[in-house]
């Protein structure tokens, strides 16, 4: 579930092809490959401690490896290297964190919407209705994706990624405890559950944002080898071990862990349905204790990038300088032109070389401005993601509410949203180990822009289908278009295709966006582009607030139909604007 976890970027798009799953190697016999003695041949220096990033040189050779020739690069099969062991500790940490987040947030729609212990109704606690439930859910999404900027600044400027994740994990645990303690029956009946929920949302959103902005870049940093090399397998066949393919593999494992962790809401919704809310919240709270322990376990093994000053703050100052100087130039100051006599972009005005006197506040050089311009150009792709997140967010609120108006049998209405991660766990390996390799063997490489376009279309189809389902709900008795907290005689199983379509869309759009955010920008700009990518979720939450007036019966058909229509239109506009990026 992307929302949630998820980074990719530039020098080249993905040599390995499209996004996939946890398959460390993409060849039949390399999966059982052993590394001969783990001996290494030095290249300009010692590699002692390389496994955990302890050496100074990240380009080296082990026994059975060599540097590739030009012919090797064009003829050998590109595969991923093994994922470093410490990266798996970070992936396990992300699993625990997502287990906690989805175990808690998956209950919010019922917890807020329905009354406590109302006979014949779905489980609930606050009785605040659909508007408040959707509003607080959208606020949580907004808050969780604006706080990563703060987390990135703290890590880069002061603490580094490791300490930032550890400290905010403790803050996260405090928020979980507040939610758990205020959801006990005596607190609900005394009116303490609602303020406790608001406080918990603020704390959890702050903490998850700080963790989110640092955990995905940190997991990628654990792989230190930068140059491709040739490895001879036990079968005698040679393959080209590629960094881009390895980073892709790491992110596949990372995304896989996110979706397995998100299945926690199956357990918590069952506890909510059969016991009460407080044990349902207690389970993910205890899991977060495990999360902190797992992350702390690797404290002496992680590759740690020391704080060198916040690139986000530096970039913000650079952008402000460029905008201000470009504005003054248009008001009569000296105008910058290129070799062809055309006006330069506003960002060029931030280059120190264009200033008569360089102020002390300018701490960047021309290269920094060039890299920032390149990063901002890549970020244009993200302008279309808020519409996607608007559609994606329907799973955690309006589709849950829709299921609450249908016959679910003995199954809790809010458990059905777990179809999304289940579909991802099933289909990601199929795409990675079946569909994408088959396309590559045919010489077909599906670029990231095409994949994102397909994902957008699938999200649009999901919303269109949900609109049809909602119409069928209103057409069924006995309550027709005014079911309230009751349900009509129509099976919730009819919702399943909506979740399948959104899951397929996630494989194409969300995972590709995550990779694009990490691989598309220069190395020094990764935290900026990741923050911008995560910030697009805020745009989706803001758009969702605009839909609040049509979140009551009988207007939910309009909600899904408008979201699907917008997504479909913007999908084609997106592809028209950026299809050439697949060739860059």
pLDDT band for position 45 (50/70/90)? Answer: very low
Cα 364 from Cα 572, distance rounded (Å):
38
Residue-wise DSSP of 168-207: HHHHHHHHHHHHHHHTSHHHHHHT-HHHHHHHHHHHHHHH
**DSSP, res 159:** I
Pull the structure tokens for residue 97: 């964190």
pLDDT of residue 453: 95
**What spatial distance separates the first Cα and last Cα of the chain, rounded to whole Å?**
28
Whole-number pLDDT of residue 413: 86
**Contact by Cβ (8 Å): 62, 190:** no
CA 315 to centroid of chain Cα atoms: 23
- Going by pLDDT thresholds of 50, 70 and 90, the confidence category of residue 343 is confident
More confident residue, 575 or 157: 575
Q: Using CA atoms, how far apart are residues 180 and 144, in angstroms rounded to an integer?
A: 19
Instruction: Determine the average pLDDT of the residues in 515-544.
Output: 79
Partner residues linked to 240 by β-bridges? 78, 230
Average pLDDT over residues 209-217: 86
- Is residue 453 within 8 A of residue 576, CB to CB? The reply is no
Residue 73 CB neighbour total at 10 angstroms:
14
Residue 442 reports pLDDT greater than 90 = no
E strand or H helix at 270: helix 264-274
- pLDDT given for residue 212 in this prediction: 84
Which pLDDT tens digit goes with each residue over 176-204? 999 999 999 999 999 999 999 999 999 99
pLDDT of residue 513: 82
pLDDT for position 52: 36
pLDDT of res. 33: 36
Instruction: Provide Rg for the chain, Cα atoms.
Output: 25
What pLDDT shows up at residue 56? 41
pTM tops 0.85, yes or no: no
pLDDT above 80 for 530: no
The per-residue pLDDT for range 462-482, each reduced to its tens digit, is: 999 999 999 999 999 898 888
Residue 461 in this model has a pLDDT that exceeds 70: yes
Alpha-carbon distance 412 to 258, whole Å? Answer: 22
CB atoms < 10 A from the CB of 70, how many? Answer: 7
Instruction: Judge whether residue 443 has pLDDT over 50.
Output: yes
Question: What confidence score (pLDDT) does residue 584 get?
Answer: 63
Higher pLDDT, 238 or 341: 238
| Whole-number pLDDT of residue 532 | 80
76 CB contacts (<8 Å, ≥6 apart)? 68, 230, 238, 239, 240
pLDDT on residue 510: 84
% of the chain exceeding 70 in pLDDT: 89
User: What's the pLDDT score for residue 2?
Assistant: 43
Q: Quick check: bond before 554 cis, omega within 30?
A: yes
Cα–Cα distances in Å, from 232 out to 3, 30, 62? 39, 10, 11
| pLDDT for res 518 | 66
Tokens of 529: 């582009």
Q: Answer whether residue 308 shows pLDDT above 70.
A: yes
Average predicted confidence (pLDDT) for the chain: 84
525 versus 464: the higher-pLDDT residue is 464
Dist. CA 420–CA 506, nearest whole Å:
9
pLDDT, position 58:
64
Question: Between these two residues, 69 and 482, which has the higher pLDDT value?
Answer: 69
Contact 351, 366 (CB under 8 A): yes
Give dist(CA 331, CA 352) in Å, integer. 20
Q: Mean pLDDT across the stretch 131-159?
A: 87
pLDDT at 17: 30
Q: Alpha-carbon distance 240 to 540, whole Å?
A: 40
> Helices 160-182 & 85-105, crossing angle to 10 degrees?
30
pLDDT tens digit sequence for 379-400: 888 999 999 999 998 988 889 8
Does residue 32 carry a pLDDT above 50?
A: no
Q: Report how far Cα 297 is from the mean position of its chain's Cα atoms.
A: 24
426 contacts 256 by C-beta, under 8 angstroms? no
Mean pLDDT of 231-244: 89
Q: At what angle do helices 160-182 and 193-221 cross, to 10 degrees?
A: 160
pLDDT at 293 > cutoff 60:
yes
Average pLDDT over residues 125-150: 88
């Amino acid at each position: 579930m992307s929302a949630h976890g998820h980074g990719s970027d530039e020098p080249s798009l993905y040599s390995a092809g499209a996004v996939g799953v946890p398959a460390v190697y993409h060849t039949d016999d390399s999966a059982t490959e052993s590394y001969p003695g783990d001996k290494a041949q030095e290249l300009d220096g010692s590699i002692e401690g390389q496994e955990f990033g302890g050496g100074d040189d990240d380009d080296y050779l082990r026994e059975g490896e060599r540097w590739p020739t030009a012919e090797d690069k064009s003829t050998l099969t590109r595969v991923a290297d093994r994922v470093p062991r410490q990266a798996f500790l970070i992936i396990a940490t992300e699993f625990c964190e997502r287990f906690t987040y989805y175990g808690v947030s998956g209950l919010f729609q019922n917890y807020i919407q329905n009354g406590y212990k109302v006979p014949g109704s779905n489980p609930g606690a606050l009785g605040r209705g659909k508007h408040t439930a959707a509003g607080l859910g959208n606020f949580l999404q907004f808050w969780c994706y604006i706080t990563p900027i703060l987390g990135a600044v703290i890590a880069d400027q002061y603490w580094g990624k490791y300490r930032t994740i550890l400290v905010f994990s403790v803050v996260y645990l405090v928020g979980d405890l507040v939610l758990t303690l205020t959801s006990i029956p005596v607190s609900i009946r005394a009116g303490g559950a609602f303020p406790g929920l608001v406080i918990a949302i603020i704390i959890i959103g702050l903490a998850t944002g700080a963790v989110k902005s640092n955990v995905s870049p940190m997991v990628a940093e654990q792989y230190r080898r930068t140059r491709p090399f040739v490895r001879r397998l036990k079968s005698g066949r040679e393959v080209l071990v590629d960094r881009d393919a390895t980073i892709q593999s790491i992110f596949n494992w990372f995304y896989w862990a996110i979706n397995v962790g998100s299945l926690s809401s199956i357990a918590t919704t069952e506890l909510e349905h059969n016991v009460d809310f407080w044990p349902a919240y207690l389970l993910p709270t205890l899991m977060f204790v495990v999360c902190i322990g797992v992350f702390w376990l690797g404290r002496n093994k992680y590759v740690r990038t020391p704080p060198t000053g916040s690139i986000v703050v530096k970039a913000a100052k650079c952008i402000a300088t460029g905008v201000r100087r470009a504005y003054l130039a248009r008001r009569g100051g000296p105008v910058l032109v290129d070799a062809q006599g055309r006006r330069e972009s506003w960002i060029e005005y931030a280059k120190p070389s264009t200033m008569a006197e360089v102020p002390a506040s300018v701490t960047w050089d021309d290269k920094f401005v060039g890299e920032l311009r390149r990063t901002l150009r890549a970020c244009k792709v993200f302008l279309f993601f808020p519409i996607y997140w608007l559609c994606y967010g329907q799973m955690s609120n309006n589709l849950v509410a829709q299921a609450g108006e249908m016959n679910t049998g003995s199954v809790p209405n809010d458990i059905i949203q777990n179809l999304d991660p289940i579909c991802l766990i099933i289909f990601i390996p199929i795409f990675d180990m079946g569909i994408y390799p088959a396309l590559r063997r045919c010489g077909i490489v599906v670029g990231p822009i095409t994949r994102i376009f397909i994902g957008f279309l699938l999200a649009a189809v999901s919303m269109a289908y949900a609109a049809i389902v909602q119409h069928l709900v209103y057409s069924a008795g006995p309550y027709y278009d005014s079911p309230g907290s009751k349900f009509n005689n129509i099976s919730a199983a009819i919702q399943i295709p909506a979740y399948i379509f959104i899951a397929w869309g996630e494989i194409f759009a969300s995972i590709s966006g995550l990779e694009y955010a990490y691989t598309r920008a220069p190395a020094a700009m990764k935290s900026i582009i990741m923050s911008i990518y995560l910030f697009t979720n805020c745009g989706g939450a803001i758009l969702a607030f605009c839909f609040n007036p049509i979140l009551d019966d009988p207007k939910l058909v309009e909600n899904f139909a408008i979201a699907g229509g917008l997504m479909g239109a913007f999908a084609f506009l997106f592809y028209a604007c950026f299809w050439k990026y697949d060739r860059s």
